[in-house]
Amino acid sequence: MGQTQVAGSPARGADAHRWSDSSARAVLQLIVESVAEMIGFEVAVLSVVLDGQLVTAAYAGPEEFREFLMEDDPVDILDPVLAQAESWGRFCFLPGEEFDRTDPDGHWVVMSPEQGEHPDSWHPKDVLLGRLCDEDGALVGVLSVDAPISGRRPDASTRVLLERYAAQTERAVLTAFERERLVQQVAHAEAARRLIRAASMPAHASLETVLQLTHEPLVTGFGASGTWLQLLDGTTGALGCARDRHGTEVPIADELVDLARCLAPVLWREQRVLVVSDPDDEDPTTTPGADTTSDPLTVAARTHLRPLGLATALAVPLGAGAECLGFLVLTRRAQDPPWSDLETSSALEIGHDLGTALTAAAALERERALVRELQQLDDYRTHLIATLSHELRTPLSVISGNLEMLGDLDLDRQDTEAARHHAAMVRGTVRMQRVVDDLLLLARVGDPQHPLDASPVDLAAVARGALALVESTARAKGLHLESRLDPTPVVVRGEPAELDRLVTNLVSNAAKYTPAGGTVTLSLARRGPDVVLEVADTGLGISEEDQAGLFRAFFRTTNPDALREPGTGLGLAIVATVAQRHGGDIRVRSRLGEGTTFTVVLPGA
């Protein structure tokens, strides 16, 4: 936001203990940095609500503003801004031109005194706040961004990304609050366990992040000299890392890894931990859970303790449900106290908590990999369509030109048969050119790398133009055209050519699939902040089965009456893509034999 509002430092005052979880703060900081870097803002700030105050939980931006922004502000300073702001889902946007009218108190910073010359340039006082709420709708935090690197106000695709990050941040904040409440409910030893539990389950963290963020809380909470987290082969991947007390990585022998892989499933099945001590230092009376048997696994583990200078190790299985996912090993030196009953029971609970976190992280990584793969496939499809379309356009142009030259030879007089073939080739060429043009348009509007050069567009004028375009065809077919347009301009922001194609495709489709004597109605009106365009007809209608794939490229209906009409199967795919590209959506209501209504909702300007 052009006026950056954040609140006081969470590390001081009565609330300091409520945000002592460094790993949770690290996750929130990571999210805020991701918002700034991935979406393209110079500043991103996360403030949380604590006792009626806004407290900064994470900040990414110029260091010269950090100290000033680390000041507490009451939550109600946001009220005048939110009351005037435009709703973008979780985010609210207040244009800088309106900011001074709200006259808000608090710590607001103008990041840049200048505004670009583009009509959609970011105003120095623009405010963009994301409201983070709990299940009851109560405000728990605010995610604010400022100074877009592009210098432009967010377009539709950027808003979608902002909404996703706001939802992710909201879940992370709610999770952090839940962790802090748990910390306050238990005694010192139990609080340490809860702290570790909270640290081991950062929202939306990767497997590597889980392994990294759990080390410090485990060492602190258990007074350990080191940790070793190892994942088993399988869906979670065979990741592992051992660190000493200071976080330095320690190499682990392959034999010890193999040993732990054999031991972990047994411990998980029996739901117990194992304390392994050096026989020279072992005192069964003071080491609860110590294994003094001659079990081969235990004996082998003991032999590995001596070279590492360790006196005892606490082995904890990690899992979820019936599946063992890995193991956690906590180590202590000879001068450290033995493991207590509370520590061993807490460690087993942590095994469950970490197992759940690892399962979620693994599922998230699989989802991310799938999204990347689908994105690559979609990009490949878009580039393939564009390339093929360009390659087809050149030979089609040559064919079309030669057919025009043949037409100039007056074939009708010389050879009736040749003239008929010539006319058929002309029709085929025109149809192929239409397909190529549609493919190129679909590839262009469907390419996420293609920017939307938006400007104010009067959709009412576009609608009147579309009706005029099909008027002669409709009159020849005996159709009735009706328009219900707002007499005043109905303005949206977008590319005029794309919006014209959207309306024209819908109107021409309605005319094409409506029998003689039917009616096509075009309606356009404002509904709150949105603009609603409806194209209704009394035509053939669409079955429920066909409606499921109606907006896919190259989709053709199963209705034999509709198949008699020529078409490329790309018109509605273009309509849906253009609508989504402009921050809107499209819906269809239809019953076979009773007509169809397409409704497009776009954000009003």
Domain 368-445, architecture per CATH:
Orthogonal Bundle (1.10)
**Cα Rg of the chain, angstroms:** 33
pLDDT at 587: 92
Burial 204-217 (b: 16+ CB within 10 A, else e): bbebebbbbbbbbb
Averaged in consecutive runs of 10 residues, what is the pLDDT profile of the chain (605 residues)? Answer: 35 38 73 86 88 84 77 82 87 82 66 72 87 89 89 89 89 79 45 49 59 77 83 65 84 80 87 75 41 53 59 84 85 80 79 77 73 67 59 63 65 62 69 66 65 84 89 87 86 89 89 89 90 91 85 75 70 86 89 90 88
Query: From its phi and psi, is residue 58 left (phi > 0), alpha (psi between -120 and 50) or beta?
Result: beta
Calpha distance 72→50 (Å, rounded): 10
State the amino acid at position 504 in one-letter form. Answer: T
Crossing angle of helices 156-184 and 22-34, rounded to 10°: 180
Give every CB contact of residue 394 below 8 A, 6+ residues apart in sequence: none
**For the residues of 153-178, what is the DSSP string, one character each?**
---HHHHHHHHHHHHHHHHHHHHHHH
The residue ranges of every structural domain in the chain are 3-183, 189-365, 368-445, 455-603
517 to each of 54, 479, 511, 513, 541, how far by Cα in Å? 64, 5, 11, 12, 15
Burial class (CB in 10 A: 0-12, 13-18, 19+), 120: middle
pLDDT at 108: 73
Tokens for 402, please give them.
Answer: 């030669």
pLDDT at 413: 53
Helix or strand or coil: residue 246? coil
195 to each of 15, 223, 329, 457, 578, how far by Cα in Å? 16, 13, 18, 55, 48
189-365 and 368-445 share one fold:
no
CATH number of 455-603: 3.30.565.10
**For the residues of 121-134, what is the DSSP string, one character each?**
BPPTT-EEEEEEE-
| C-alpha count within 13 angstroms, C-beta hemisphere, residue 83 | 9
Calpha distance 265→298 (Å, rounded): 14
pTM for the full model?
0.38
Domain 189-365 in CATH 3.30.450.40? The answer is yes
Are the C-beta atoms of residues 539 and 597 closer than 8 Å to each other? no
What's the CATH superfamily of 3-183?
GAF domain (3.30.450.40)
Q: How many CB atoms lie within 10 A of CB 478?
A: 11
DSSP structural state of residue 8: B
